[in-house]
Amino acid sequence: MADALEDVEMPCRTTFFDDPMFGGPKATVTSIQPDGTVTTDGKAINPSPVALFEPVASVMIEDTRTGTIHEARTEGIIGNGFHRIPRGIMASVPVEGWGLYRTPTGLMLRDPLGGVWAKGAVELEPAWLSEATSHGWVTVFYGPRLGIRVPPGRHPSSYTLSERISEFRQGRSMGLCAAANVRWHPIAPEETMNWVLLPAGIFGQPLPLAYVPQFSFTRLGGPEAFGFVPAPDRFADVPIAVGLAADVTLTDVDLFQPHLDEGLDFVGGYRPTRDPLYRDWHAAAHSNGRILVITGHQDLPAGPAHRHDDPRDLMERVHRVVKESFVAIVPVSKTHRFGKPSVQSEHA
């Protein structure tokens, strides 16, 4: 379930409000019937831009108080400002602080704290980009049944428009569709969102290293609030972080505030599922009982994507990024955030 919830890569589609999915073509909507039928006045209008994100897997949960079933991510995004769009209602309501960003491969949806909810690879047509930039916002739909993904075993050409519209309406009637007007950003954010884990020995110090996006600390007063200092010339002079610990499991690296209650303690986390070196990093973190955390705004040029770069150029870029970052040593918790003993304490 955690893998599904944290998988932000998903099918994405861009269109306009004159799309047949919403009752078009190119007409002003005058009314929407209870069965979802849209009535229009037939006049051509300048259509508003729309982006749809459909998660690959649904995560269904039961409310034990009422016995009702919900989709976890739909409820999560509604709890963070989006609005449920049931069948028969197609209102677009603004949501504060959210942003839809253009990326080199498509689109990315971020919440007010900088967290990424969805990333989709899609070719952006000039007409769509023009309208998005002109309006300054895009209506974003999010949910597991938006008529984007092709059902298993079906060829894309066989999944007809009427079937897609039917799925979209069913998803809305089941309460699985959320939407909001989101601020459009035609340029990708300058700050990084990528974690990087590096082995012990980097920069001549003995601890495994985690490079963490600085936006994880921004809402909490910045890294200085936890005792981080500007990266020194000598990493022997790095202080211990204040009020911060690392929960290092076989699947996750989480930074949290151990003095706060569960649910309020989370600072930032990373799931290195595709990192073949993570098992060694995990072992070194528990063996040392501490990790070196560097946090900054820029991408750290490290990892598989950079392994074929010229080593001298690569290290020069790494040092340049680190020089503009903050650093501290973070203790590794002996118990996990949810009370389970860590591997080391179990062995002990």
pLDDT tens digit sequence for 200-236: 988 889 999 999 999 889 889 999 999 999 998 888 8
pLDDT of residue 98: 93
Verdict on whether the full-model pTM lies above 0.75: no
Q: Which of 17-31, 44-58, 70-84, 297-311 has the highest mean pLDDT?
A: 70-84
b/e map 196-224, b = 16+ CB within 10 Å:
bbbebebbebebbbbbbbbbbbeeeeebe
pLDDT tens digit sequence for 153-204: 888 888 888 899 989 988 888 888 999 999 999 887 777 878 899 999 888 8
pLDDT tens digit sequence for 44-75: 455 789 999 999 887 877 777 877 777 888 88
Residues 223 and 214 sit within 8 Å (Cβ to Cβ) = yes
Compute the distance between CA of residue 300 and CA of residue 323 in angstroms, rounded to an integer. 11
* Closest to 281 measured CA to CA, from 238, 241, 250, 315: 250
User: What is the number of other CB atoms lying within 10 angstroms of the CB of residue 192?
Assistant: 19
Residue 109 amino acid letter: L
Transcribe 301-344 into DSSP letters. --SGGGTTS-HHHHHHHHHHHHHTSEEEEEEBPSB-TTSPBPHH
| Residue 59 or 81, more confident | 81
Measure the CA dihedral 263/145/28/124, to 10°.
80
Least confident of 135-139, 200-204, 274-278: 274-278
pLDDT of residue 72: 84
Compute the distance between CA of residue 264 and CA of residue 164 in angstroms, rounded to an integer. 40
pLDDT of residue 36: 47
Compute the distance between CA of residue 191 and CA of residue 168 in angstroms, rounded to an integer. 35
Q: Does the pLDDT value for residue 304 go beyond 70?
A: no
Token pair in block for residue 122 = 């899609």
Compute the distance between CA of residue 244 and CA of residue 264 in angstroms, rounded to an integer. 13
